[in-house]
Amino acid sequence: MKKSQKFILWFKETRIKDIPYVGGKNASLGEMYSNLMNKGIKVPNGFAVTAYAYRYFLKKTKTDKKIKEILKGLDTHNIQDLSKRGALVRKTILAADLPQELKTSIVNDYKKLSQFYKKSNVDVAVRSSATAEDLPDASFAGQQETYLNITGADDLLVAVKKCIASLFTNRAISYREDKGFDHFKIALSVSIQKMVRSDLASSGVMFSIHTETGFKDVVLINASYGLGEFIVKGVVTPDEYLVFKPTLKQGFRAIISKSLGEKKVKLVYGHGQIETEEAKVSKSDHLKFALTDPEIIKLSKWACLIEEHYKKPMDMEWAKDGRDNQLYLVQARPETVEALKDPNVIEDYILQKKGKVLCQGAAVGKKIGQGQVNVIKDVSQMVKFKEKQVLVTEMTDPDWEPIMKKAAAIVTDAGGRTCHAAIVSRELGIPCIVGTGDATQVLKSNQKVTIDDTKGEVGYVYQGLLPYKIKRSNIRNFKKPRTQIMMNLGNPETAFSESFIPNEGVGLAREEFIIANYIRIHPLALINYRKIKNSKDKRLINKLTAGYQNKTQFFVNKLAEGIAKIAAAFYPKDVIVRLSDFKSNEYANLIGGKAYEPEEDNPMIGWRGASRYYSEEYLAAFKLECLALKKVREKFGLINTKIMVPFCRTIVEGKKVLKVLEENGLKRRQNGLEVYVMCEIPSNVILAEEFAKIFDGFSIGSNDLTQLTLGVDRDSELVSYIYDERNTAVKELVSQVIKKAHDHKPRRKVGICGQAPSDFPEFAQFLVKQKIDSISLNPDTVLATTLKILQQEKKQKKR
């Protein structure tokens, strides 16, 4: 018998080409079961009730004609009409009996599956698999229903019919109408697959692409305890892990980011007639990651294998069985949003004025949206929602989709980046913030707000309608100048998106941003944690370092992850990381910092930069920085990371810092490690030949060099009118250091990472005349300044 005329097809009989017979979900399961099990990927066995069986059922019971009549003249934008007709269609399907021959086929194959697993009645997941779902341009995210922990033939037959009815849920009808799919050219197959006992362990989703930016070199994994439905529905905020694919494939444990989610509840097997129910997660468990590092690595390797097999970015579901402690892949489909975007078009949403922050959560997308708030706590209130309002709710599920597509933006209390609200918002191109915790309490209906997702992984809800602009740049034919154009970066969360701007790497990666925003604690306070007497400081440290017994490891891990995100975003291009360059007053502002910092009259020229790293008072803290950098290079494999020493006043200081680096596993020239020095003090220029003997290159810090050349405190408003990087004296020193570095044998590279070329295109042109090797710019100035540099290079070529 032909596949097209079978009621049942087992996974081992199906391949991806069989979507017309078994739908996208089942075709993908069959593809993986048949082709990827031999590569170590575990896929639970099962079978599909085919699209032929679905059509047979509708035709034999004449249900198809009744559905056509019910849906004639439907307007999906009329929520009440859609709801009324959808309910009538589902009622009609559920009232019809499955033909006996179809029932017999399903029951017999269920018995075979039970025998395969050596059980009398094996527990199965029953999922819908539409013949048009999971296509590259339509995700059908959660359009049809899923029924978990189904046991016994009678319950299975009921679940199959419910799945068929779910092809006509309100949201599925609406979605197909909007996408232009004919209701009757789409059929439904039903997936019947052995349950993975993740109710006793954990489960989640993963992508082989970064879902917010389209950066293709990472695997993004979300994980929570229990069955996976709570992640998709946004009931929990899951853990989030990022793994860097290029060095993972080289054998490194490249988990470049781990974020702990609030996993306070989980979905587990129910009792009696209740298939599943909610259960609490113990406090000790929700403060732990749901996956171990080896499990994260294993899943990431699977993601790479699956992506290579399908030859496109993929969206996958996984589960861990609490009985055998094994990981399983339970679904894979094409990623349908970021993978299809044109990488040559850079779109920047720019907020032109900041306002009062009302709440914040995880940013979905990189856009800005605004409008009038409409707080809707129950799906039954959907009729109150109006076009272009901001939907604020606790969480969404597929029933909300008819109004989600009308929203100017969406904000939810719960959920992570792979919950339903996030998935649908991405596909619709709507700004969204999930996991705020309190949006439905803080925000009030009719209040005007602006949603800003442009600041990285955190999205902000501002009070009022703030002005913003959209800047679009096509870089398809963008030429590279001879002078290397690099970037200045501090925020790891924007690195993936900014990597798409034409560049030659990062000339300045600032540790200060990572320490101030992600660590927030003075390193010596972590080292001396047990001696802290200030109860407020201790309480804050305990909150920030939850889950860490070793408090100093928190500093090392968070700094390493921040640096690694930037290094991964630009890999294999150079990323030059400047060692921490806080002044003593800035260090004092970190939690617990006042106990370890002196009060200086002029911290700008006080205890900062190189002088800290070898001093007995700070050496223990600097060693934590070294451990973080060592982890980035050796554990994550990001050897494109270089080191830069700031505010190095003398040759003796430079040698002392290099010695400390070497003693802590960061030996210059070993494993390709280059160490640069900032040129920001006149002594760096005067003794450039000597500095060139111990360092691999210079990076001009024009801000400090201007201050110290002109004797101007750059923080003083009284003399700010004198401060100008374009002053002849400053330019003379810049010219000198470039010449001395280039004349040195061997030749030393010189770049600039100060603000001047970003602010003044003519200063950038001056640097080109001096034949500087690289210019590092703020991301928002790269395109415009590069055009000026190209003009200058063209002039010099003509001469």
pLDDT beyond 50 at 709? yes
Which pLDDT score is estimated for 483? Answer: 93
Of 524, 525, 494, 497, the residue nearest 510 (C-alpha):
494
The tens digit of pLDDT for each residue in 175-229 reads: 777 777 777 778 889 999 999 999 999 999 999 999 888 899 999 999 999 999 8
Say if CB 376 and CB 396 are below 8 A apart.
Answer: no
Decide: helix, strand or coil at residue 577.
strand
Encoded amino acid at 754, one letter: G
% pLDDT > 70, the chain: 97
Q: Quote the CA–CA distance of 706 and 443 in Å, as a whole number.
A: 47
Q: What is the rounded distance in angstroms from the CA atom of residue 624 to the CA atom of residue 467? A: 42
420 is catalytic: yes
List the one residue out of 653, 660, 666, 652 whose CA is nearest residue 611. 653
Query: What is the DSSP code string of 423-442?
Result: HHHHHHT--EEE--SSHHHH
More confident residue, 84 or 47: 47
Answer yes or no: is pLDDT of 401 > 50: yes
pLDDT digits (tens, 9 = 90+) for 218-263: 999 999 999 998 888 888 889 999 999 999 999 999 999 999 998 9
Tens of pLDDT along 69-119? 888 887 777 878 888 888 899 999 999 999 999 999 999 999 999 999 999
Contact between residue 26 and residue 11 where contact means Cβ atoms under 8 Å apart: yes
Angle at 49 between CA 48 and CA 53, to 5 degrees: 145
Higher pLDDT, residue 382 or 749: 749
Q: Rounded mean pLDDT of 569-574?
A: 97
Segment 415-422 shows an average pLDDT of 81
Could you give the CA distance from residue 708 to residue 724 in angstroms, rounded to a whole number?
A: 12
Say if residues 47 and 109 touch (Cβ distance below 8 Å).
Answer: yes
CA proximity to 333, closest of 24, 20, 15: 24
Q: What residues contact residue 676 under an 8 Å CB cut-off, 6+ apart? A: 576, 642, 643, 644, 645, 695, 696, 697, 698, 699, 749
Q: What tokens were used for 103?
A: 């029932």
- Cβ proximity of 341 and 35 under 8 Å: no
Q: Is the pLDDT of residue 138 over 50?
A: no
**Residue 399: pLDDT band with limits 50, 70, 90:** confident
Given the residues 210, 286, 420, 522, select the one marked as catalytic: 420
Between CA 773 and CA 751 the distance in angstroms is: 6
Helix%, strand%, coil% for the chain, nearest 5: 45, 20, 35
Q: What is the pLDDT of residues 591-641, one digit of tens each?
A: 999 999 999 988 989 999 999 999 999 999 999 999 999 999 999 999 999
Report the pLDDT value the prediction gives residue 271, as an integer from 0 to 100: 84
Would strands 146-150 and 124-130 be described as parallel, antiparallel, or unpaired?
Answer: antiparallel
Task: Compare 235 and 419 and report the one with higher pLDDT.
Answer: 235
Q: For residue 684, what is the enclosing H or E element?
A: helix 682-686
User: What's the mean per-residue pLDDT of the chain?
Assistant: 91
Q: Measure the CA–CA gap between 342 and 278, rounded to whole angstroms.
A: 42
The reported pLDDT for the residue numbered 587 is 95
Q: φ and ψ at 795, to 5 degrees?
A: -60, -45
Q: Which listed residue (359, 648, 679, 753) is catalytic?
A: 753
Distance between CA atoms of 551 and 548, rounded to whole angstroms? 6
Alpha-carbon distance 247 to 743, whole Å?
A: 37
Name the H helices within 36-169: 51-60, 63-71, 79-95, 100-116, 153-165
**Secondary structure (3-state) at 747:** coil
- Residue 70, judged by CB atoms within 10 A of its CB (0-12, 13-18, 19+), counts as middle
What is the model's pLDDT at position 780? 80
Tell which residue, 473, 377, 382, 366, has the closest CA to residue 429: 366
Among 672, 671, 645, smallest CA distance to 658 is for 645
| Secondary structure (3-state) at 267 | strand
